[in-house]
Structure 1
Amino acid sequence: MKLKILVLTNLFPHPWDPLRGTFNRQQFGRLGREHEVDVLTAVDFRERMRRPAGEFSAENVNTDHFTFYYPPRFGRALHALCWLLCLLWQRGRKLRAANYDCVLASWAYPDGVAAGWVARYLGIPYVMKVHGSDLNVQAAFALRRPQISHALRHARAVVTVSKALADKATEMGTDAARVHVIYNGVDAALFAPGPRADARARLGLSIDEPLLLYVGNLKETKGCVDLVNALPSVLDHHPDARVAFVGSGACRAALLHRAQALGCADRLMLPGAVAHDALGDWFRAASVLCLPSHNEGVPNVVLEAMACGVPVVATRVGGIPEVVPAYAGILVPPHDPERLAAALLDALDAPWQGQAIAAHARGYCWDDNIVRLDAILQAAATRSTASMGAAA
């Protein structure tokens, strides 16, 4: 059955952040080949104020956005209500007329909580997809946790990107039978092994220097500063090594300041955010991908780096241990630059088998992901239709 699906999320490209939520762009675009998918993206009002609108692309889905206004310095427990009111104020009439079969909410708070209310307002079921810090961090706050728990328990199904998140959802009272682990996929057309020398030549990088690569938002909880703090120990053994931080974010200035204090600022590269379809060369150019996050779901950059045959040094948090076997990387505790430095040195000296790493990553396939997500959405909508028929 072809469904009409409303996706509600903040994790999707929009005119003020064209590179946002590339994993959702990939997933929803593939879902849109089978169903009619409308993606309605919440845009933080501060984001609209900070930068001009740009161009973005999203295939096979209909896109729209609304502006999310909220009190920025207090009242985080009210953000789901603010999210709901902004949505209904700006797009309520359009939603009522659309005749959707179900809602798919991507991100638990405030998006998923508000989406649950929207679904009940529209009289349709909702499926909630959680990613990482929306449960690992947001649910730790006393006034937000009951809202998230209620939304999870009343969703027709909950989709998680890792077993660790599935366990957390059930700990919060969700029926385990309604929780589904679906790992994100990797686009094999973009991420596959290739000659390192060729990738470095295209990026204008030295062929011989060890290159530690970080890809993602530059923020403290991603462990960016931990990586800079680990760098001097790496340079003691590999003085020609460099670290490339591919991404943008509030931590950029802090990284430079800390590197200057440690005397290694000249070994940092900060090329900024890079389009998703241009990341393949950065992975293939890298000696090691390093992601020292303090909390995670299953970051796609880890899967994409491994798909290029690149070993990973990351923290043992969230779902990362579920997808990084010992022959593909080294895992360390978070908040520990000394252990991180030792792991990076071991990784630079180890005889990794790139083809075996890439073969492992090929098991994370978008086609399989969509088949499973499609079945969950079909079941949610079919059960809703059956319930309405019985009630009539």
Structure 2
Amino acid sequence: MTVSALTRPGERDRLIVKFGEIDWMFCLTLCLIAGAGAVMQFSIAGSSWSPWAGPHLARFALFFAIMIVLSLVDLRVWFALAYPIYGVGFLLLLAVMVVGHHALGAQRWLQAGPITIQPSEIMKIGMVLALARFYHGLSGRSAQLSWWLLIPAALILAPSYLVYKQPDFGTAILMAFTGVIVVILAGLSWRLIAAGALGAALLVPVVVMFGLHGYQKARLTTFLDPQADPSGAGYHNLQSAIAIGSGGLLGKGYGLGSQAQLNFLPEKQTDFIFATLAEEFGFVGCVSILVLYAAVIFMALRTAYLSHSHFGRLAAAGVTATFALYVLINGSMVMGLAPVVGVPMPLLSYGGTVMLTVMVGFGLVMAVRVHRYSEVTSGKGSLL
């Protein structure tokens, strides 16, 4: 749509209608979560907007605007761009293996002057879109169990393996699980799901013994017995447990969390911000923020349910699965129920890359809602 088109009454009216179709309660809930993140970052910085709270809010405001713009994009455009976005993301992942930027012992970024991008974040959206487009044109019988399953398996495993090799085990697991969820929702046979779950369980010991790096094995053993190395590999786990336990029912009070304020808690503004929240606001504060996350997930899944196109349903559900896995993995990690894998709590943690991915994904979810009555076809009548 051109600028001049926006001045025409018909186009202007349609734009107003689209704005009205956006789920503003969903948007408000996202704002509340991001606002809670800023409140916590302000606290742990000693009641200062820098270095975390101010940039966090500024980024969220920008990404929120991007989400609103993307929500107005016709679902057929998302459909047409599904494979190209996946292809670009995959090529960038390959580029990371060759000319990627090294930082913190990993090679996960591409750098061009002042611009640094993490291709795995592009692939999180690209893989969901590609799988949704693939299954949109597939019959229900073929989606259950057939040789067609080899294609989505390749779409999931190829980028997940490249991300694992960076190494970024947490993101690789998140991508793989998201892809599997989309395949299951597309209509995969329950017999194959059961067989796959059994096969995965049998492969776990093999992966642990031969597929993990040394530091990844250390994280696993530390998760099982953090007291074995309390000042080394187990430090994160123990300090997080202390922060959560000391918060009790109502917490120590805003700005009074000793674990975070005295820098005992590592990565307090990113991976372990949920532990910071638990220390200062206690069980009640944790439940409150989890209720907000649950509300976001529920509203996004409702949007997927209401879509008239199979592509829209799977795309919205896939984005929602990614978001839910972020919350599940980070919450489990912080509470000592899973190994530390460096997955942040979405919108609550400081950091622009994951926040951008989440908001672009929710732009897609809102586009599914706004255009839920649109019929997406893969024949000659489509934008392809």
Q: TM-score, normalised by structure 1?
A: 0.26
**Which has a greater percent of helix?**
2
Q: TM-score, normalised by structure 2?
A: 0.26
